[in-house]
Amino acid sequence: MDRSEYDNTAELEEEVDDMVEDLKGKETWRLFRIMSEFIEGFDELAEIGPAVSIFGSSRLKSSNPYYKLTEEVSDKLCKSGYAIITGGGPGVMEAANKGAMKNGGDSVGLNITLPMEQKPNRYQNRSLHFRYFFARKVMFVKYAIGYVCMPGGFGTLDEFFEALTLIQTHKIYPFPVILFGTEYWKPLVDFMKGTMLKFKTISKEDLDYISLTDDPDEVVEIINTHMERKLRLIAEAREEERQERAKRAEDKRKLARRARKSAGSKAEPKE
C-alpha cells in the first residue's frame, strides 16, 4: 500500500480498517451501509425532474478548452430546464456543476470516497457521498434522460459502455449517449463502427443512440428531441390506458344491464 496516495492519515487508517473487516469475513455491517447509500440517493433525487448526467476527466484544468465547453453545455442544458448530475469532483465535473449553478438549477454531485483525485467541487447544491461505485452508478442512470461524455479516462469509458450495455439488453429505457469532442472520441467511434461491427460483436442498431458532436447547441437539441419523444410516448400510453379503462367500465355496465334485464324477465308471473 502506497501511503503517498492518501491525503491524510485518517483516510489510510479507514482503508486499513475496511481491509481488516474484509479479512474477518464480517459482511453484515457492509450490507447496511450499502442499503443506506441507496436509500439516501433515492430520497434526495426523487424530485429533481429530468436530468442529464455529464462525465469527463477530473484531471482537466480550468484552462483546458473542454472545461469551458463543458460549462457552456451545462449552462445551456440548465436553461432548457434540465438538472445536471456529475461525479462531484474537479475538472470536467466541476465545470458541469459550475455551469448548472449559473442559472440556479439543480447541480447534483455524486461524490465518492477515493484515495486520490476525488475532492468535491464547490459548485453543488445537492451533494451525495458514496463509498460504493455500484450504488453511485445507479443514481447516474436512474435519474438521467441522457448522458454527455466529455473527454475522460477509464471512469468516463466505464459509464459510457455501461449505459450502452443497459440499453442494448433492454434493462433501461433507451436514451441518447452523446460523445462531445470529435477529435477525442472519433477513433473510438471508428473502432466500434469498423472493427466491432466487422467481427459482429455488436449490431448496427446498438450504435443508434450514440451521437458525436462538437456543438453545445446540438447537445441541447438531441436531449430536447429525446425528451419530447418520451413525453409523447408517455401521453400516448396514458391515453391508451384511459381508453382501456373506459372500455372495461362500459363492458361492466353492459353486463350489469343484461343481468338486470335477465333478472327482471325471470321475476315476471307466469299465466
pLDDT digits (tens, 9 = 90+) for 69-94: 999 999 999 999 999 999 999 999 99
Q: Is the four-CA dihedral 173, 147, 153, 102 of positive or negative sign?
A: negative
Percent residues over pLDDT 90 in the chain = 68
pLDDT score of 13? 60
Quickly count: other Cβ atoms within 10 Å of residue 184's Cβ.
18
pLDDT score of 24? 57
* Mean pLDDT for the chain overall: 88
pLDDT mean over 260-268:
68
pLDDT digits (tens, 9 = 90+) for 177-204: 999 999 999 999 999 999 999 999 999 9
**What letter represents residue 105's amino acid?**
G
DSSP for residue 269: P
Higher pLDDT, 3 or 149: 149
pLDDT score of 87? 96
**What letter represents residue 20's amino acid?**
V
> What is the helix (H) or strand (E) element at residue 214, kind and residue range?
none
Strands 51-55, 144-149: parallel, antiparallel or unpaired by DSSP? parallel
Higher pLDDT, 11 or 155: 155
pLDDT score of 117? 55
Quickly count: other Cβ atoms within 10 Å of residue 170's Cβ.
8
The C-alpha cell of 129 is what?
457521498
pLDDT digits (tens, 9 = 90+) for 15-65: 556 655 555 556 777 888 899 999 999 999 998 999 999 999 999 999 999
- What is the edge-to-edge ordering of all strands in the sheet holding 83-86? 126-130, 107-112, 83-86, 51-55, 144-149, 177-180, 210-213
Angle between helices 65-79 and 92-102 (to 10 degrees): 40
Quickly count: other Cβ atoms within 10 Å of residue 38's Cβ.
15
pLDDT for residue 145 is more than 50: yes
Helix or strand or coil: residue 245? helix
Q: Is 56 left (phi over 0), alpha (psi -120 to 50) or beta?
A: left
Residues, the chain, total? Answer: 271
pLDDT range class, residue 260, cuts 50, 70, 90: confident
pLDDT score of 6? 41
Question: What class is the 8-230 domain?
Answer: alpha beta
CB 57 within 8 A of CB 94: no
The whole-angstrom distance between residue 176's C-alpha and the CA centroid of its chain comes to: 11
SS3 content of the chain, % helix, strand, coil (to 5): 60, 15, 30
pLDDT for residue 103 is more than 90: no
pLDDT score of 203? 96
pLDDT for residue 4 is more than 90: no
Percent residues over pLDDT 70 in the chain = 86
Of 169, 96, 106, 100, the closest CA to residue 143 belongs to 106
